[in-house]
């Protein structure tokens, strides 16, 4: 696989990244691609190790190590190295039907488990994957072929996020008639409205959806299952129903003053901005000058983002592009280490400090990292008109709870202070699936509100299946796609008595 001595001869090289001062002027993607020749050299770095953890997708110390899709990573890297791009696409397609999404937004579990990364930098598998799928689109290799024979079976997929699309894709290829229901105005779910355009251009989604529609999948938008149509009605019309509604119930910071005007959940904020951008036909300048938002405009406003994860980072980058005067990002937990701790060895997922694009842009724009660790909001302060004008913050420390014996982040006495704020964006994670969807299908859930299954993806309600975040809780796009593919096989087997997926 690859060049035998490639990992010793060649250093890792990634595609160029547009500088912060330039990329904050628009909402376009800013990661550029290497030339084919340079990308092939990166494929040569794959060292043909005896045990390729990159494709294992195993749980180690409670965290995933390697690709959950079990992509045949060394094989595809080898084909990239040899310049056999069509063969590389065919090999990647054996395990992955939507690589254009993961190659943009996946945190690259494969690379973090790469053996080459034990002593030097890992192989650039994610960029190799992007090069493969973009070559395939550019050369007309990507196609969703309509099945020659239909089984006569019907399946309704509720939700058009990554798990829903992966489920629908395989079930349609198998010959079942698939209808995807989406409550929003456009297809894509999390991919469409949970990820900003500069990370995943929405036209990339449209490109795949167009192929899926031509292959016979029906997408029905603006239908909120559980409100516009009941679960019982769907089960009368379809042989199987698959719930792929995500973990879209946001965690709140519900303290004194929560009714102040100017507090938004991150998912609502990001959706509003993305929708406006698409409505404006991707005119970044028009979007950045628009005041047609629920928050009117961010120009000259002080923004506080609650949450240190990917969504919080997306809020930072989006706020900067919309002209915020300042952006502060609060994180309850301590600042991560810059290198692996001895208790966090390879090939575990590295629990280390990551400075993402939004934080890089804040450092350029405001001169410092926007993140404030071990801090949370204790009160929202309103003016006489009910508008947010400030927040009270408190520092936190790790200590053992006397009642439970568990370690908790507790307030530090005397650390309270007041900070001016016009807008608060809550990106504190999610509490699981939304109740009205579970209720309309009468499925059982666990204490985390994830839908329970009897076997694999089969819920406690006959003929109803579940996949993605609604099943496993808030997770990554790659896990959602893996769940969707696994669920498609389970649904197919329940319909046909066997499955060849």
pLDDT digits (tens, 9 = 90+) for 425-471: 999 999 888 999 999 999 999 988 899 999 899 999 999 999 999 99
Contact 180, 196 (CB under 8 A): no
Q: Are 32 and 26 in contact (CB under 8 A)?
A: no
pLDDT at 47 > cutoff 90: no
Average pLDDT over residues 371-382: 98
Count of C-beta atoms within a 10 Å radius of residue 355: 12
CA 34 to chain CA centroid, Å, is 24
Question: How far is CA 262 from its chain centroid?
Answer: 26
Q: What 8-state DSSP symbol labels residue 481?
A: H
pLDDT at 248 exceeding the cut of 90: no
474: pLDDT strictly greater than 80: yes
Q: CA nearest 423: which of 392, 388, 381, 375?
A: 388
Domains of the chain: 6-138 (1.10.1060.10), 154-248+431-496 (3.50.50.60), 263-426 (3.50.50.60)
Contact 369, 328 (CB under 8 A): no
Q: Is 228 exposed, middle or buried (0-12, 13-18, 19+ CB in 10 A)?
A: exposed
| Residues listed for the chain | 501
If you average pLDDT over every residue of the chain, what do you get?
96
CB burial string 140-176: b at 16+ within 10 A, e below = eebebeeeeeebebbbbbbbbbbbbbbbbbbbbbbbb
CA 267 to CA 283: how far, in whole Å?
22
> Which pLDDT score, from 0 to 100, does residue 478 have?
97
Phi, psi at 478, each rounded to 5°? -65, -35
What percent of the chain is modeled with pLDDT above 90?
93
Contacts of 302 (CB under 8 A, 6+ apart): 324, 325, 326, 328, 420, 421, 422, 423
Cis peptide before 498 (omega within 30 of 0): no
Q: How far is CA 428 from the centre of its chain?
A: 15
pLDDT at 112: 95
Exposure class string for 331-345: b at 16+ Cβ within 10 A, else e:
beeeeeeeeeeeeee
Q: In the chain, what's the furthest Cα-to-Cα distance? A: 71
Q: Give 3-state DSSP helix, strand, coil % of the chain, rounded to 5.
A: 35, 20, 45
Determine contact, residues 264/294, Cβ cutoff 8 Å: yes
User: pLDDT band at 4, cuts 50/70/90?
Assistant: confident
Confidence of residue 46 (pLDDT cuts 50, 70, 90): very high
Alpha-carbon gap, residue 207 to 191, rounded angstroms: 13
The pLDDT value recorded for residue 1 is 64
pLDDT-derived band of residue 64, with 50, 70 and 90 as boundaries? Answer: confident
Residue with tokens 């900070």: 419
Neighbouring-strand partners of residue 418: 392
Mean pLDDT within 213-233 = 98
State how far the alpha carbon of 403 is from the alpha carbons of 114, 399, 411, 448, in Å. 42, 12, 16, 22
pLDDT tens per residue across span 100-145: 999 999 999 999 999 999 889 999 999 999 999 999 999 999 999 8
């Amino acid at each position: 696989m690859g060049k035998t001595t490639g990992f010793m001869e060649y250093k890792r090289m990634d595609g160029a990244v547009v500088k912060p001062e330039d990329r904050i002027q628009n909402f376009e993607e800013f990661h550029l691609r290497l030339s084919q020749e340079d990308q092939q050299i990166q494929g040569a770095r794959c060292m043909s190790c005896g045990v390729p953890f990159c494709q294992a997708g195993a749980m180690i110390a409670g965290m995933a190590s390697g690709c959950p899709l079990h992509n045949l990573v060394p094989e595809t890297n080898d084909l990239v190295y040899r310049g056999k791009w069509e063969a590389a696409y065919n090999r990647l397609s054996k395990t992955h039907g939507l690589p254009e999404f993961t190659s943009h937004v996946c945190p690259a579990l494969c690379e973090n488990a790469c053996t080459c990364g034990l002593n030097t930098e890992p192989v650039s598998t994610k960029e190799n994957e992007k090069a493969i799928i973009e070559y395939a689109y550019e050369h007309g290799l990507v196609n969703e072929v309509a099945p020659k024979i239909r089984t006569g079976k019907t399946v309704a997929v509720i939700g058009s996020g990554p798990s829903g699309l992966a489920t629908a894709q395989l079930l349609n290829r198998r010959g079942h008639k698939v209808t995807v229901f989406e409550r929003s105005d456009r297809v894509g779910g999390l991919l469409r409205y949970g990820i900003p355009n500069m990370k995943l251009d929405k036209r990339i989604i449209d490109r795949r959806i167009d192929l899926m529609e031509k292959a016979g999948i029906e997408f029905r938008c603006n239908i909120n299952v559980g409100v516009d149509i009941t679960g019982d009605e769907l089960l009368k019309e379809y042989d199987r129903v698959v719930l792929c509604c995500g973990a879209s119930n946001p965690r709140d910071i519900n303290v004194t003053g929560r009714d102040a005007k100017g507090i938004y959940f991150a998912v609502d904020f990001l959706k509003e901005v993305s929708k406006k951008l698409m409505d404006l036909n991707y005119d970044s300048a028009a979007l950045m000058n628009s005041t047609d938002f629920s928050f009117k405009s961010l120009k000259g406003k002080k923004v506080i983002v609650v949450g240190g994860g990917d969504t919080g980072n997306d809020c930072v980058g989006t706020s900067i592009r919309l002209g915020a005067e300042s952006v502060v990002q609060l994180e309850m937990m301590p600042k991560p280490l810059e290198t692996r701790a001895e208790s966090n060895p390879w090939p575990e997922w590295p629990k280390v400090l990551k400075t993402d694009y939004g934080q890089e842009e804040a450092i350029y724009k405001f001169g410092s990292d926007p993140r404030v660790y071990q801090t949370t909001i204790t009160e929202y302060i309103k003016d006489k008109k009910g508008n947010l004008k400030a927040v009270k913050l408190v520092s936190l420390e790790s200590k053992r709870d006397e009642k439970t014996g568990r370690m908790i982040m507790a307030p530090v006495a005397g650390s309270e202070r007041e900070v001016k704020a016009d807008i608060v964006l809550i990106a504190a994670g999610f509490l699981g699936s939304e109740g009205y969807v579970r209720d309309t299908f009468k499925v059982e859930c666990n204490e985390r509100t994830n839908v329970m299954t009897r076997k694999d993806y089969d819920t406690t309600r006959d003929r109803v299946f579940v996949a993605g975040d609604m099943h496993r809780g808030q997770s990554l796009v790659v896990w959602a796609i893996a769940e969707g593919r696994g669920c498609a096989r389970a649904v197919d087997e329940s319909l046909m008595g066997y499955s060849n997926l």
